[in-house]
Structure 1
């Protein structure tokens, strides 16, 4: 696939070489506008070392109701704009000079995405809607930052709110990419109507996922040596398995999540009401109603690929966007900053 050029989506970018002294003191930001969560990271580069100044995650659920009517709801748009307003305050506080802001499945699929884009522009945000290929490239870039020694080829799976991205890669080269319209939010809305869910609802959920993934193994040009889970669903599952009271990306990075652990979580959660799930360590309250669909997708991925577990990485799309911005700004720099120590 064509290499993704981050220069086309960076705000305030007059394409000129950065002088050594300017690059050594610069504050930049990346924003990932997902179907479930909006994420922000602000990094200051001082003496060629990136330092995280702010890292925020907000469960906006922009894609709520999208599967039913193909449009972003008025309430979802309001939640999104309110969050962007708060993000703008953070960017102004730290005097961010360059930012990269990207939307994913919800904005790709919504007939009225332009309405949200216009409101975001009024708040000072120029949003680039990533294609499936661009999203895959950025996710792999983020993964490689966190797990540089992972054996290739590796299968990267990002279960989002409105879609799941499945990417086979060697280093930063994409061998295969598929964007599937199965996500934790849209599958929950479509199949899970009772609390706790009925066995029949879970059976239909599993059958639908198997249909969507039925030809995956046959389509892969090479057999993966590893399955890597990135994104909020994967990191949440790792946090739950670890019983985290407070999220710690250092413990998440590289965590081996076995299929038996996934089965245990599935069996534990399927008979539990949403309000009870909200008290579970590692599970964000606003993910409690959609976590089952996320687990179901990962379980089926492991079943199809015949892997006994997956490796979880905290590096995904957000870190990939941030890395691309740092790379763009350091193209003329003799020693680009090392981003491997960044935890968002």
Structure 2
């Protein structure tokens, strides 16, 4: 049985094609495209025409790949950008009409559940942990241990939203940093309350920005690690902090020239670094790992 999973993120559209054999699976093909669906007016809850068209064109390309691989079942999920957009329903119907892809727009709660399933599949959950998934439109937090999901929530404080609202200087100035962190602090009150009660020992970053943090460190140290081929990566805490402080204090051009940086994340990585450092500091966490398995692997796990 062949499955195709499409994850329509606010920044990136992902396509994953896998074949199942009994209880296991093999990934046959995967690709991602920086569609930037949240470009320009995400805080006005609108997909602008250029982003709308990029999204539909990308889904047409995905549709061709799905046909090439003779896929039996397709599952496409849309998250924050489509969920909150006034023209989100129009995007979903155009995708069906033009690319023949049926999209399910999932809630933030469902998104967090699927992220948990994906991360669990990677084997990254070793003890009481807090999973963090930084998207363009929303950020999900999941408190869990090896046996169960304890608590989950999706917050509308994604990197694209905060960037469009607050990040205007190059490099980011202190006023903008404070405005971002004040906003985040006000949003995450219940997260800090639940973590105070349960005391997680580790933060697990789900793919995305955390893959970029890892890639920057791997390239800097000439480590023989291929992020595309591993399920997990353990950060050295001091090295992670040094890398993120460098990102926060650098200009757009300096970040663009860093080995391991991808164009999509040149500016959004600053927001990701600020929020991750704030959460880790507030919760007194000094253990951090990456799970390269995220929402799309959670969807695959559900299909299997």
Q: TM-score, normalised by structure 1?
A: 0.81
SS at match of 1:308: coil
Determine the structure 1 residue equivalent to 2:71. Answer: 96
Deviations 1:246-270 (A, max 9, x none): 953334x332224433432233223
Determine the structure 2 residue equivalent to 1:341. Answer: none
Deviations 1:142-195 (A, max 9, x none): 1111116x3333211101111100111234633211211111111111111122
Deviations 1:61-101 (A, max 9, x none): 11123443121111111111111111111101111110111
2:31 to 56, 80, 84: 56
Does 2:231 correspond to 1:256? no
Whether contact under 8 Å (1:64, 1:186) holds in the other structure is no
Which runs of 5 or more structure 2 residues have no equivalent in the other structure?
none
- How do 1:56-135 residues align onto structure 2 when only pairs under 5 Å count? 56-122=31-97, 123-135=99-111
Structure 1 runs, 4 residues or longer, greater than 6 Å off: none
Does 2:184 correspond to 1:209? yes
Instruction: Check 1:158–1:283 CA distance in 2 against 1; reply closer, same or farther (3 A cut).
Output: same
Does 2:21 correspond to 1:38? no
Deviations 1:221-241 (A, max 9, x none): 522232211031122211112
Determine the structure 1 residue equivalent to 2:217. Answer: 241
Determine the structure 2 residue equivalent to 1:8. Answer: none
2:160 to 179, 185, 197: 185
Q: TM-score, normalised by structure 2?
A: 0.91
The Cα shift of 1:42 comes to 0.6
* In structure 2, C-alpha distance between the alignment counterparts of 1:27 and 1:282, rounded to whole Å: 32
Larger radius of gyration: 1
Does 2:276 correspond to 1:298? yes
Determine the structure 2 residue equivalent to 1:137. Answer: 113
* In structure 2, C-alpha distance between the alignment counterparts of 1:171 and 1:124, rounded to whole Å: 39
Which runs of 5 or more structure 1 residues have no equivalent in the other structure?
1-25, 327-344
The Cα shift of 1:212 comes to 2.2
Whether contact under 8 Å (1:33, 1:104) holds in the other structure is yes
The Cα shift of 1:130 comes to 1.2
1:278 to 239, 251, 256: 256
How many pairs align? 299
The Cα shift of 1:47 comes to 7.3
